[in-house]
A and B are shown apart, each in its own frame.
Chain A
Amino acid sequence: MAAIRYGDRLYELRESESVLDALLRAGVPARHSCKAGSCGSCMMRAVDGAVPAKAQTGLKDSWKARGYFLACVCHPDSDLEVAAAEDDAEVPATITSLDRLADDVLRVRLRCGAPFEFRAGQYVTLVRDCQLARSYSIASLPEEGEIELHVRRIPNGRMSGWLSTEAGAGTPVSLLGPSGECFYVPGREDQPMILVGTGTGLAPLYGIVRDALRNGHRGPIQLFHGAVRRDGLYLHDHLTRLAAAHANLEYTASVLEAPDAGDAVSGPIDQLILRRFPNLDGWRGFLCGDPALVGSLRKKLFLAGIASRDIYADAFLPSAT
């Protein structure tokens, strides 16, 4: 029979026993509820070994890609090394550059002092002086060597203010994570994709779009960036060029305040999208940024036909402290 490695111990599976049952039998306080592969409470992550497909039924592709599975319906044929779903790594990192993309948006680039695996579009928690922590989405690809974050300058923001005025190239920080399921999963490369971001919600989408292109995604990619004013479209020229260089990529900029639109479209971005794409059956969607917009758009895109497992949403919640 197969065995499970968890922590520093090995757990032998009995005949027809699930991973969850083996752990519970050994006294491991593994979280669980329905024991029927339905509720998701017992989700774990496989670090090494083959997870049976049945143990991933119904999970999003991005969860499957990271090895997540439901322990209560997992009956592996061979040995499996597993971890709790929420185990995070912390690595030291150094700021390599800081530059201003817009009045209130900073681009922060970092180099990690230890191996740090991530996918473009996931988020990391940046830690300053071992205590102040804020989460930001990753705009860069792993092979680019550096981690790129887009940080909005918040009035009196303790992290963003520090990054704008005190931090510089060479400043040490640390990174926790990565976390989040908002990233491109290779496969189904003809599937049409729609990506909608407001403000620095563009950061993960910028990473995801480039990851998709690099993986040879062939289906149409519709990228929308929404801002309150024209100067919030902080990658406008760059994205216009990127779209010109890729036949399947279209970039649409939208500005809420009409007199200010310039070459962008004006008006609410959700109405613009639903007018242009009333039927999204079969699409893959990514939504990042303002929580209210992400929440309402998520529902609207679902009703327009995107399967719930094909919607990846990341609402940027303001920090409480």
Chain B
Amino acid sequence: MHLMNSSSLFEQLGGADAVEAAVDRFYRKVLTDDRVSRFFDGVDMDRQRAKQKAFLTMAFGGPHNYTGKDMRDGHAHLLKMGLDDSHVDAIIELLGSTLREMGAGEDLIGQVAAIAESTRNDVLGR
């Protein structure tokens, strides 16, 4: 269990309801963004959405049990498809635009981006 000290961030963003409201919006962006959509092709949508929801919960500072190893294992097959820093940049950008559309302030968006940023090396297997 990865304990976050930023539960107040989660509350400020609106908690589980905010995650629920964000996940479809974020997932649509991911599926239609030419930079990253190919990594999500041919994947079971229910499972994919559950993963997106878990990811957003974590990035929003909410309760989760992601470990660095999960991040590594979960993305290893994507590295073979060419996953690199530019794709992590794109995901963090899409996360920010999702939150902006939902009316979150730049300060909170920055905090979410920082949490997402902290997974970069695990995601990229470094």
**Residues in A lying within 8 Å of B, measured CB to CB:** 33-40, 57-58, 295, 298-299, 302-303, 307-308
Question: How far is B3's CA from A110's CA once the two chains are assembled, in angstroms?
Answer: 55
Closest B residue to A311 by beta carbon equals B45
Q: Is the CB of B65 within 8 A of A302?
A: no
Q: Does B62 contact A (CB under 8 A)?
A: yes
Contact B28 A302 (CB under 8 A): yes
Known: A35-B65, A36-B64. A302 touches B54 (CB 8 A): no
The answer to whether B16 touches A303, judged by C-beta atoms less than 8 angstroms apart, is: no
Residues on B with beta carbons closer than 8 Å to the beta carbon of A33: 65
Are B64 and A308 in contact, with the CB atoms below 8 A? no
Q: Is B73 located at the chain interface by the 8 A CB criterion?
A: no
B45 touches A36 (CB 8 A): no
Task: Report if A307-B16 is in contact (Cβ < 8 Å); known contacts: A38-B57, A39-B50, A298-B45.
Answer: no
Asked if B57 and A308 make an inter-chain contact with CB atoms under 8 angstroms apart, the answer reads no
**25 A-B pairs in the complex with CB atoms less than 8 angstroms apart:** A33-B65, A34-B64, A34-B65, A35-B65, A36-B63, A36-B64, A38-B16, A38-B62, A38-B63, A40-B50, A57-B17, A57-B20, A58-B20, A295-B45, A298-B45, A299-B31, A299-B45, A302-B24, A302-B28, A302-B45, A303-B28, A303-B31, A303-B32, A307-B24, A308-B45
Enumerate B25-44 residues with CB–CB distance to A below 8 Å.
27-28, 31-32
Interface residues of B in 2-19 (CB under 8 A from A): 16-17, 19
Known: A303-B31, A308-B49. A36 touches B62 (CB 8 A): yes
